[in-house]
A and B are shown apart, each in its own frame.
Chain A
Amino acid sequence: MAQKEFSVVGKATPRIDGFERVTGKAEYTGDVQLPGMLYARVLRSPHPHAKILSIDTSKAEKLPGVKAIVHSFNTQVTWASGGLTQKRMIFNNPVRYVGDAVAAVAATDRYIAEDALELIEVKYEKLPYVLDAAAALKSDAPKIYPKGNLSVGDGRVTAPIREQWGDVEKGFKEADKVFEDTYISKHVNNAQMERRVSVAKWDGAKLTVYASTQGISNARGDIAKALDLPLSRVRVVCKYMGAGFGNKNQAQDYDMMTAVLAKTAGQPVKLEFTREDDFIGMHGRWASEQHYKVGVKKDGTITAVELNAITNMGAYRKQSGDLTGCDFYNIPNYKKVVSPTHTNTVVAANYRAPAYPQSVFGFASMLDQIAFDLGVNPYDMFLKNRVRVSKGKSQFTSNEMEACIVEGAKKIGWQEKWHPAGASKGAKLHGIGMALGGYPFRLGLGAATIRLNPDATAHVIVGVVDIGTGAKSTMAIIAAEALGIPLDQIQLASGDTDVTPYSIGESSSRTTSFTGTAVIAAAEDVRKQIFAVAARELEAKPEELDLKNGIVFLKSNPGQKMPLVKAIRKVESEIIGRATTNPTWPEGFDGKCFAAHFCEVEVDRFTGQVRLTRYVAAHDSGTIINRLTATSQVKGGVVQGIGMAFTEELLIDRPTATPINPNYRDAKVPTHLEVPEIEVLFVDASDPYGPFGGKPVGEPPITASVGTIANAIFNATGKRFKELPITPDKILRAIQV
């Protein structure tokens, strides 16, 4: 479907909740104030690995204002989504990293809760610990779990993660040259602006949790399971959400802590993480050590890739730990072995496109280096090897990677600006680089209800929360388009499990596809009911009718029409449409979004400082539902990549195993000053399985960014940086040699 056929889809539409967001009226979880509400704080382990022998709370309990103290000796609650392979409690004994939760206190104000933490006496028996993933896999390393530190466990996922197709040995034999190298990425924190926060209250046996979650339905399920409550007795509400980038999926330990504290105290409780809690108490992106072996023909065509890698999951394996940066290339023979490994460090889990930017950095650097060694222009290298087949076997339902590469390169002026790496001279070295990215486009379970009111306005009832992507607006736009009524006639009811149907949650870039598909189906249900009524009035068959802009008309004769309001009046009540959809790919097909990024840098030869001078991001995300918010998504993803490429790294003081930069200033997230204008280009695309042809936008933008920047620095300096972040000191050391 060409975009011009749409009335709302494909335009640049301001958010439907923009007014609330710019006036301060948007109610975030931390803004919820309940009568008699207590404030909670969390005590965390100062040791990387220790058995807790005793917890003495007697002094803390005597502090006036303290109402409840919970810890591993009085509270045994399993945090099901906290560990995929090992059973993880909300308070663990032994504690396994500096920052592992030990106790939580609820008191009449925040200060008393903080004072009480200092009065809790914990006796620890220190255990041996290990900080590095490679060291943790050695046979004599301290064991964090009985089975050892490779994250095997007995859970839903395995270790190592293996994937293969073709025959790599055959592929390497066919190669003219075989290259091997190792790339390293570090742990970086999601660092979303809204600290983690939860408010819980009990009304008899019913628990309400005002959560800061990316998915209210899954959060409800997790909380019900953890506290052994029926789903009907758990209500999860999230009206506005201050982002998460993957670290607020489902329910988190603090949601359960808050619920238990509220139960114990008999009063509502608000638990706010401090910014330091947020950096060390939850998780960031997994660090990795990636060893590649790549076989190529003389012209750069890949014949085989073997990846052996270790990912550092910290003390618990909350998510996969995979590396998937090879997904964007055509690799006839492939073998991957990734070992997610436990160490006594901060947990690593989902951060926007969890397995991508770090491995795109590794593999795109690898290919860029091979292109240099072969004397091939990187543009030709990437274009030649771009992915055509999914996982070595499936067809893509749509694939505009070629257009992304061609149009992005044209926009930045690749052919005019590119020069061999290291050819730039002078005080400021110019460089240009590129890399490929994208993200899976998935199909799955969605649900929506649409209530068409007697005045022809509509309520769209969906379980989404808008974590910043613009999902609420996207749902409203899809509904307006599918129903055939103006966008300003649509209200969205969302973010409350007592009211809204199931939604997968805003993670893994699935909302537009999963819930958007259901919104279209619910709208079709509404239209069917309308057409049944209107058909009698217009003396036509229902299937001959259409509805656009609030008018029902005969498709073959648009002059034969009636206003929607009049049709609804015939029903004498509101019209409810609903749908649950769960589409799947046809056999042999798979979905993906694609991206090609390009940037130019200027490296100061005397300070090692890098200035990003230009950035072009070209994306195939199918039909763009809302060009305004989609463009913002791309810009934002690139900015996070800028932080990862240049500055961000969780530093751990080795003698104490303690993170030393768990705050914004020292974590060095990008500011207004480091970010150039990011030029966003959506190539003409449409996918037959996406709602109105749309594919995801949320995660793809970060995937290619780090590799793009790294390759531009190589082009400027002629030096290959194989470890993130690429800081001025590393650059200076390399170029002064």
Chain B
Amino acid sequence: MDDKKGKGVSRRDFLKRVGAGSVGAAVISKGLLDAPGADAYPTEAVEPAKGRSIVSLKVNGKAYRIEVQHRQTLAEVLRDELGLTGTRIGCDRGECGACTVIIDGRNMYSCSQLAVWMSGKEILTVEGLAKGDKLDPIQQAFIDHDGPQCGFCTSGQIMSGKALLLRNPSPSEAQARRALSGNLCRCGNYNREVEAVLAAAKAR
């Protein structure tokens, strides 16, 4: 692979550079250690293996303490460890926005956040928007305005739209477009996604 040239920085190279991983260590995911009320347990209760750490974070209002590999991204932990597969991975290198979640009120690419950085953070994913069967207005607007075509970018579009509406309840069309501009949609459904965000703003 040495004579591969001209490649951009991959997420993997990036992770290597930040010295995250002990390459090649045998790892079996311990996954989810505990769920609600996990904060009550002291960190020392479980000794993490080399290259792993325990992280306490809140996802969709629920507290978790989980052991993660240093090289695991938040997107991977959400999907593989917490079973929250509504967060999609489109590029895994911070370009497409399919993995967008809201971290402490800001929309961010979860593929570009290491899970170990998430200690003490509050994370909102697409699964956390609806209250039971009652959809968030932005979700209903995405259905009514045909926001999803293939639907793979939809969670990310919705989370960026939601983050916008949290900070600006009545955005202009230009503001909505700008706010979603980090979310690619190869189906090209951009008109619809912006329409849906603006409709959600009106529905509030």
A673 touches B148 (CB 8 A): no
CB-CB under 8 A for A64 and B71, given A24-B125, A30-B89, A635-B188: no
B10 CB-CB contact with A under 8 Å: yes
Residues of B within 8 A of A469 (CB): 149
A21 touches B186 (CB 8 A): no
Name the residue on B nearest A12 (C-beta): B146
Interface readout for B129-165 with A: 1 if CB under 8 Å, 0 if not? 1100001000110111011111111110010000000
A485 CB-CB contact with B under 8 Å: no
Q: How far is the CB of B175 from chain A (nearest CB, A)?
A: 11
A664 CB-CB contact with B under 8 Å: yes
Residues of A within 8 A of B158 (CB): 22
A21 touches B193 (CB 8 A): no
Name the residue on B nearest A643 (C-beta): B188
A191 to B180 Cα, complex, angstroms: 19
Tell which of A238-246, A385-393, A555-563 binds the partner: A238-246
Name the residue on A nearest B7 (C-beta): A276
Interface readout for B174-187 with A: 1 if CB under 8 Å, 0 if not? 00011011011111
Q: How far is the CB of B157 from chain A (nearest CB, A)?
A: 9
Residues of A within 8 A of B80 (CB): 33
Residues of B within 8 A of A65 (CB): 26-27
Residues of B within 8 A of A663 (CB): 8, 91, 93, 95
CB-CB under 8 A for A664 and B184, given A21-B151, A193-B98: yes
Residues of B within 8 A of A665 (CB): 8, 95
B12 touches A632 (CB 8 A): no
A108 to B69 Cα, complex, angstroms: 14
B127 CB-CB contact with A under 8 Å: yes
Which listed residue (B27, B148, B155) contacts A109, Cβ 8 A? B27
Main secondary structure of the interface of B (DSSP, over half): loop
B23 touches A115 (CB 8 A): yes
A178 CB-CB contact with B under 8 Å: no
A588 to B121 Cα, complex, angstroms: 68
Interface readout for B14-42 with A: 1 if CB under 8 Å, 0 if not? 00000001011111110000000000000
CB-CB under 8 A for A672 and B84, given A46-B3, A242-B151: no
B126 touches A672 (CB 8 A): no
CB-CB under 8 A for A670 and B188, given A31-B85, A658-B6, A663-B91: yes
CB-CB under 8 A for A108 and B149, given A24-B85, A638-B188, A666-B8: no
Residues of A within 8 A of B86 (CB): 23-25
Q: How far is the CB of B124 from chain A (nearest CB, A)?
A: 12
B191 touches A15 (CB 8 A): no
A51 CB-CB contact with B under 8 Å: no
Which listed residue (A47, A245, A274, A671) contacts B92, Cβ 8 A? A274
A14 to B139 Cα, complex, angstroms: 13
B189 CB-CB contact with A under 8 Å: yes
Residues of B within 8 A of A118 (CB): 1
B5 CB-CB contact with A under 8 Å: yes
A666 to B4 Cα, complex, angstroms: 17
Which listed residue (A30, A63, A245) contacts B24, Cβ 8 A? A63
A317 to B201 Cα, complex, angstroms: 49
Q: Report which residue of B4, B23, B98 has the largest number of chain A beta carbons within 10 angstroms of its beta carbon.
A: B4
Interface readout for B75-100 with A: 1 if CB under 8 Å, 0 if not? 01001100111111111110110100
Residues of A within 8 A of B88 (CB): 28, 30, 193-194, 242
Q: How many residues of B contact A (CB 8 A)?
A: 74
A60 to B9 Cα, complex, angstroms: 24
A638 to B7 Cα, complex, angstroms: 30
A637 to B189 Cα, complex, angstroms: 9
B143 touches A15 (CB 8 A): yes
A375 CB-CB contact with B under 8 Å: no
Q: How far is the CB of A379 from chain B (nearest CB, A)?
A: 26
Residues of B within 8 A of A585 (CB): none
A22 to B143 Cα, complex, angstroms: 7
Residues of B within 8 A of A191 (CB): 186
Interface residues of A in 261-278 (CB under 8 A from B): 274-276
Interface readout for A508-522 with B: 1 if CB under 8 Å, 0 if not? 000000000000000
Interface readout for A649-685 with B: 1 if CB under 8 Å, 0 if not? 0000100101010111110011111010110000000
Residues of B within 8 A of A28 (CB): 85, 88, 152
Name the residue on B nearest A629 (C-beta): B146
A19 touches B135 (CB 8 A): yes
Name the residue on A nearest B152 (C-beta): A242
Which listed residue (B76, B130, B149, B193) contacts A23, Cβ 8 A? B130
Residues of A within 8 A of B116 (CB): none
Residues of A within 8 A of B12 (CB): 114
Residues of B within 8 A of A637 (CB): 188
Which listed residue (A190, A274, A640, A658) contacts B188, Cβ 8 A? A640
CB-CB under 8 A for A243 and B186, given A22-B158, A63-B24, A672-B193: yes
Q: How far is the CB of A577 from chain B (nearest CB, A)?
A: 30
A117 touches B1 (CB 8 A): yes
Residues of B within 8 A of A15 (CB): 143, 146, 148
A728 CB-CB contact with B under 8 Å: no
Q: Which B residues lie at the A interface, using CB under 8 A?
A: 1, 3-8, 10, 12, 21, 23-29, 69, 71, 76, 79-80, 83-93, 95-96, 98, 125-127, 129-130, 135, 139-140, 142-144, 146-155, 158, 177-178, 180-181, 183-194
* Sample (24) of A-B pairs whose CB atoms are under 8 Å apart: A21-B142, A22-B126, A23-B86, A23-B139, A24-B86, A24-B127, A28-B152, A63-B24, A65-B26, A242-B88, A275-B91, A275-B92, A275-B95, A629-B146, A629-B149, A635-B188, A636-B149, A637-B188, A639-B188, A642-B188, A656-B6, A662-B7, A669-B186, A673-B178
- Rank and list the top 10 A-B pairs by shortest CB-CB distance, nearest first: A24-B86, A639-B188, A468-B150, A242-B152, A636-B188, A18-B143, A243-B150, A31-B85, A64-B26, A468-B149
